[in-house]
Chain A
Amino acid sequence: MKTSYGKAVHAERLKLRRSPVWLAFIALPIISAFFGTCNYVLNIEILKKEWFSLWTQHSLFLCYFFMPALIGTYCSYLWRLEHTRHNWNSFLTSPLPLWALYFGKLTQAVCMTVLGNAWIFFLYYICGKIAGLASPFPKEAMSWFFFGTVGAVAICCVQLFFSLIIRSFAIPIGIAMAGGIFGLLITNKGWGLRYPYSLYSVGMRANNPNLEIDMSAHLVNSLTYFFLFTALSILWLRKHEISAN
């Protein structure tokens, strides 16, 4: 016997079946890993910290600019299915509570983000081996992965909200891209932990693997954005009259 949440997740999985949305999460990190590793190998005399130096080359642009936009693309796609044709009618009249419908979408977004993040680390390991790094794989990578994923979940919630309230597919992606670029300025000011689009890059320690972050502040702020935007999304679904196209 499936719960409402289980049914919603299953329905979302069916909707995404045979759609190549995962391709973007595969392609973009490959570009970053390929050029990052080439740059590392070409500048090996300057970049002396082996795995840590390689990480800066892999993660810098991907984490700041492109991962928020990629998450934005996925979230936009999830809601686009409902924004198209008369799908809002069937979505809102399905015999499941609204919170379950929302969490069905969020689960898909989070799953894809976790897989995308795991793929980034897999490429990092493979590229390190190809580049001939002799030292062991850094243990700190576990922490980068964990806090990066937590930050990415916060971005998922923010982007799901924007993609819900904005019917256009492209605008929320533009917001995510702009949010990521603006995040670089915010992080530079030292306020990265307070800004949702920076939580991912700060958690991943992009460009600074030795960065000591306030872990509790990172978790608390990520959870705050999670609860805030989840509540806003469910409230929007409940209160707002959404008309089918």
Chain B
Amino acid sequence: MITLLMEWKKIKRKKVGLTMCALMGIQFAWHFWAARNPSEKELLQGWLGNLQTQPLLCAIMMPTVMSVLASRLADIEHKGNTYKQLKTLRTAGTLYHVKVLCGFLFILAMTAANYLFLLALGYLHGYVGDPDPKAYLLSFALQSACCLSLYLLQLDLSLLFFNQMIPLVVGLCGSMLGVILMYLKTYSFLPWGGFLSSAIVMMDWNRDTKVVTYYYRDFSSIEFLALTMVAVWIIVFYTVGRILFTRKES
């Protein structure tokens, strides 16, 4: 707890929260723009449509957003050259835990804000019916897990490399892969494709009638396997990151 408080004090006035809010603002603007002037059909399927759009937008933005978040939390130590001092106060493992926990709290806050905005948008436009709470909660949990897996990868890179360009470029390449994978498949085993695997609503576009129909996804065995890969990536990145950080020379 003391170490977590210390972490919060370190990022005080660093405007990490403000940066994340600004990046979330872009997502909100996108949702707002995409959902403007809904047709009757769109109003009928609005709540489902939200759950289909959200993971796709996350696949583009979140790898970069997570790299920015991880870099902000790790760069403080690089710039201040504080590792030696910190490791005399707390064990390296505890320091790593706290960085993970601090980032995870940001992720939860951002994801919650995201879903609250989607709900507000739905009520503002007057989508027909009420949102399915179970589906929204499941989607919220899955998106948080995907963000956590990417955050852990980025945190590992940001802590290991002094040159923050490397993790940031990995984040950008991840965003690029995410957006390309979106066009190729509805699932992926790569960490950046987790958002696609975890989408619980799919879209069917009829080429002749040009009508879009949303439906709850019926996970096939391979899609379910791709979904479980999110948990596998979390475990892998956490374990590898903790070992490498503990062994890292200050």
Contact = CB atoms under 8 A, between A and B. Distances in A.
B54 interface: no
Interface of A is mostly: helix
Given A169-B71, A178-B26, 13 more contacts: A24-B172, A35-B180, A35-B183, A35-B184, A62-B176, A70-B169, A169-B168, A170-B75, A170-B168, A171-B15, A171-B72, A173-B68, A174-B65
Contacts of B164: 80, 169-170
B64 A174 contact: yes
A185 to B, nearest CB: 5
B176 A168 contact: no
B179 interface: yes
Contact of B180 (A61, A177, A178): A61
Interface of B is mostly: helix
A174 B176 contact: no
B176 A61 contact: yes
Interface in A103-135: none
Interface residues of B, number: 33
B30 to A, nearest CB: 7
A23 B65 CA distance: 21
B68 A174 contact: yes
Given A69-B64, A174-B68, A181-B60, A21 B165 contact: yes
Interface of B: 14-15, 19, 22-23, 26, 29-30, 33, 60-61, 64-65, 67-68, 71-72, 75, 79, 163-165, 168-169, 172-173, 175-177, 179-180, 183-184
A170 B60 contact: no
Nearest to B60: A65
Contacts of B71: 169-170
A130 B3 CA distance: 56
A190 to B, nearest CB: 14
A89 interface: no
B64 A171 contact: no
B36 to A, nearest CB: 11
B86 to A, nearest CB: 18
A66 B172 contact: yes
Interface residues of A, number: 34
B179 A61 contact: yes
Contacts of A19: 163
A39 B23 CA distance: 30
A169 B164 CA distance: 7
Nearest to B162: A84
B177 to A, nearest CB: 7
